[in-house]
Amino acid sequence: MGKKDLWEMDRLEKIARELDSKDELKKFKREFIYPDDKLYFDGNSLGMLSKKTKETIEKVINKEWGDNLISSWNDSWIDLPNKVSEKISTILNSYENEVYVGGSTSLNLYKLLLSIIKSNDSIRNISSDNLNFPSDNYICEGICKDHNLNFNLLEYDNNILPDIDKLEKFINKNKGIIVLSLVSYKSSFRYPINRINKVCNDNDSIVIWDLSHAIGAIDIDMKKNQIKYAIGCTYKYLNGGPGSPAFIYVNREKQLNLESPIKGWFSHSNPFDFSKNFIQSESMNRFSSGTPHIISMSTLDSSLDITIKATTKKLENKSINLFNFFKEIYNDRLINLGFKLITPMDKEFRGSHISIVHKESWRITKCLTDPESSKQIKIIVDFRPPNIIRIALTPLYVSFIDIYRACTRIVKIIESKEYKNKDESKKIVP
């Protein structure tokens, strides 16, 4: 790098430190167990472990399970799912008893889809687009095969960004249910909620929003956006831990006729009556299909407090500022090195991760996550085929100087051609 380039990077470092000094959310980074040898930019896949959550795990295992044993059901466990559901409701700004927490995102989508179909025998179509997370589409297609419905998939030419005008025509053509990810996992494109909701309402169709790549990083607000149905995971920006329970959201006005296709002990109106006859719970617990996973539910319970304390409005605002700083570095340095930013510039159409493409994305990712020198810090990003590097701007613990350090490392990898030392073989990257 020449003198001018060094000066430019020094200037950007100064900006980063100034922005960090003014960041009112910087204190939250101290609440997480952040390894000294890493920079972590994969919170859109798995959030970090908080110190409070670690303490909670130890308490649940050693005290509640180890010492108190089955008495813990009465002491704290039996009410835990409802307690966690209330916290998710707070984050989503929804009304009371509109959220169920339990199971996985895929299982919850399955239950929600079938409950809607059973309540409305006029539904003949389930639709999605090719930018939705693949497992959602697997569930949709499988249900259609099992119940003699039509599965319709909208294919966008570029396989990266949606065409909203094309999507509107698609919805109007295929009346029924459409499942969409609010924030696309590939590009971080954020769909215009109100516009899509209106199209569906006008067409007497139903949209189910997958909030997995959105909740905890952007301010969703279920009341303001008049969302009726949604699902989502909790191990990404909510930092619930690997496999932490997912959730179902149903607007209270839409719950009356819904009946979960999977009955279980805790979906009974009074499970401890041990009645031979099933009476469905009138609450969102109707979607419960078995005994709650107490350990993972407990880790989620503790992690949600951090997001609630920070507030989603402040988290989204910081996410915007982090992106703007990255964009400045991108325009100064990365764009001239063969990178292309595919994440929308408009904050209204963007989530909280950045997606960049490069012809050497895979080998660059290898250099970042597995550096040859022990002196080099590991920078954890993730790769999505065919050539996408995703960088999560998790506002709870990503700082501006983190972004500066990561981008500086990327520049060095390209300019030194370090990536050529990595082979092109691929293995699964979570």
Please report the DSSP string for 346-392 in residue order.
Answer: SGGGB-SEEEEE-TTHHHHHHHHHS-SSTTSPEEE-EEETTTEEEEE
CB 170 within 8 A of CB 127: yes
Close Cβ partners of 202 (under 8 Å, ≥ 6 residues apart): none
Q: Measure the CA–CA gap between 230 and 401, rounded to whole angstroms.
A: 35
Q: Measure the CA–CA gap between 323 and 4, rounded to whole angstroms.
A: 24
Q: Measure the CA–CA gap between 386 and 369, rounded to whole angstroms.
A: 18
pLDDT at 6: 46
Q: Measure the CA–CA gap between 385 and 365, rounded to whole angstroms.
A: 12
Q: Compute how many other C-beta atoms are within 10 angstroms of the C-beta atom of residue 278.
A: 11
pLDDT at 87: 98
Give 10-residue mean pLDDT values along the chain (430 residues): 54 95 97 95 98 97 97 95 98 97 98 97 97 97 98 93 97 98 97 97 97 97 96 98 97 94 92 91 93 96 98 98 98 96 97 97 96 91 95 98 97 96 72
Q: Measure the CA–CA gap between 109 and 66, rounded to whole angstroms.
A: 35
Q: Compute how many other C-beta atoms are within 10 angstroms of the C-beta atom of residue 75.
A: 11
Q: Measure the CA–CA gap between 82 and 377, rounded to whole angstroms.
A: 42
Q: CA-CA distances (angstroms) from residue 34 to 39, 127, 199, 237, 299?
A: 8, 41, 44, 15, 17
